[in-house]
Each structure stands twice: as C-alpha cells, then as structure tokens.
C-alpha cells in the first residue's frame, strides 16, 4: 500500500470545525500537512480538531474568519503566506443549507446560501490561487453534493449553489491547469453529519446500493487521494461519494 506523504505542505480547510470538514482536516494532518482549521463561530470545536491532529503528531492551527467577507479572506490568505511562504492545498468545504419548498424561499435565505456556498468559495479560491500560480503548483477542492447533480425537493437553492460549485470548478480547472494547479470536486451523498439529522435515514438507506450511510472519514479519504500525487493526472472532475445512490 502506498503511503500518502504531504509533509511540508500547507493546507487550508474551510468550515473544518465539525462534520466532513473536521474529518478532512484530520486526515490531511495525519498525512503530514500543516492544516489550517478555518471556522466561523465555534472555537471550542475547532480547537478540538487541532488537538486531535496534534495528538497524532501532526501540525495544525485554528483560524477564524468569515469566508463570505472578501476582505477577511484576503487578510487570512495573506497572513498564511506571510507566516509559511506557501499554500499548497485549499479545500472549500464550508457551506450552509436552509431547506424550503421553492415557492416559500425567502430572499434572505437565497442571499445567505449564495454568499457562503458560492461567493465564499470564489473568494477563497481566487485569493489562494494567486499564490499557487506563483508556486506553479497547488490543489483546490470543492465539496459539492449529489443534490447539485440531481436536485432534491425542498432544496432548490442549496442544489443551485452546489451545482454552481461544479461549474466554477470546471472553469477554474481550465484556467489554472496550465499553471500546474489541479481543481476537482467531490459530491457526497447521505453522510452522517449534523446536516443530515432529522431525515428518514432508513428510507434512504433502502435506496443506497451499499445499504449504509457514509461517514465523514469515507469522504475525507477521497479528498486525501485528490490532494496526493496518486491523482496527478486528474483535474476538472466531480467524484461522487454516495454508496451508489446517484448511479
């Protein structure tokens, strides 16, 4: 088995205080990267992720900033470069979902999901990419969703933003590929996180060929692969991680 070694690399994971983001941060830390655990509100959870990485002899720090605020993003990325002189990996994981039938969607719900899911990802990518271009190397990942591929009742806005991430990723991959930067996306299905609480899991499990809900670690493993040299000829792609549900 090939061991993935990300030693000396700097990785920024947005929305990494819990769920899929926390699992991604931990697996990158175990692979040797210095992981910057971005969060918005919950410092305690972010510090817990950092402690977990440090306990496995990894390197990490928590960094609070709002990805929907471009000035804050710019200052954060500049600070990372000042301190480490590089940024090798960006995982755009932060996102929100506010469900409602589309005829009941309020303008503020629409605006908030666009601000975080789309504009926040665009801001983080554009600021990080400026430095990756100078390095002529980098990996950028978008965490989309199978809802962005197939839609879902009550999630029209969420689906729109997650589909938008895929279009964004494909465009970025074409612009940045010649500069040595790979850009890909993953589309998780039903994953055991706080965002899936309250749904009828048993009914959905019956529709999943693997007959189980995915874990954050199973999603994080795909991200690790896409950050490694094992995926050196993959860019502009969406990897579906859903136990066969969307197939």
Instruction: Give the residue numbers marked as catalytic.
Output: 158
Orientation of helix 19-30 relative to helix 43-55, angle to 10°:
30
Cβ within 8 Å of residue 129, ≥6 positions away: 138, 140, 172, 176, 181
User: In degrees rounded to 5, what are phi and psi of residue 17?
Assistant: -85, -15
Contact at 8 Å (CB) between 196 and 190?
yes
Starting at the earlier edge strand, list the strands of the sheet with 89-92.
59-64, 34-39, 10-13, 89-92, 138-143, 181-188, 238-241
């Amino acid at each position: 088995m090939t061991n993935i070694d990300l030693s000396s690399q700097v990785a920024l994971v947005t929305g990494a205080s819990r769920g899929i983001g926390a699992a991604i941060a931990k697996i990158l830390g175990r692979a040797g990267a210095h992981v910057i655990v971005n969060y918005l509100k919950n410092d305690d959870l972010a510090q817990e992720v950092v402690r977990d990485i440090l306990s496995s002899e990894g390197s990490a720090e928590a960094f609070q900033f709002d990805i929907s605020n471009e000035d804050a993003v710019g200052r954060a990325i500049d600070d990372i470069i000042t301190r480490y002189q590089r940024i090798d990996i960006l995982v755009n994981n932060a996102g929100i979902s506010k469900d409602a039938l589309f005829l009941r969607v309020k303008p503020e719900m629409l605006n908030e999901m666009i601000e975080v899911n789309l504009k926040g990802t665009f801001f983080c990518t554009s600021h990080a990419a400026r430095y990756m271009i100078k390095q002529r190397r980098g990996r950028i990942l978008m965490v989309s969703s199978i809802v962005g591929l197939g839609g879902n009742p009550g999630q029209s806005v969420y689906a729109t933003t997650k589909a938008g991430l895929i279009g964004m990723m494909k465009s970025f991959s074409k612009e940045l590929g010649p500069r040595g930067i790979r850009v890909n996306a993953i589309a998780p299905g039903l994953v055991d996180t706080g965002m899936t609480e309250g749904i009828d899991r048993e009914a959905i499990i019956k529709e999943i060929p693997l007959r189980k809900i995915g874990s954050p670690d199973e999603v994080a493993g795909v991200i690790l692969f896409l950050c490694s040299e094992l995926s050196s000829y993959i860019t502009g792609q969406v990897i579906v991680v859903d136990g066969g549900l969307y197939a």
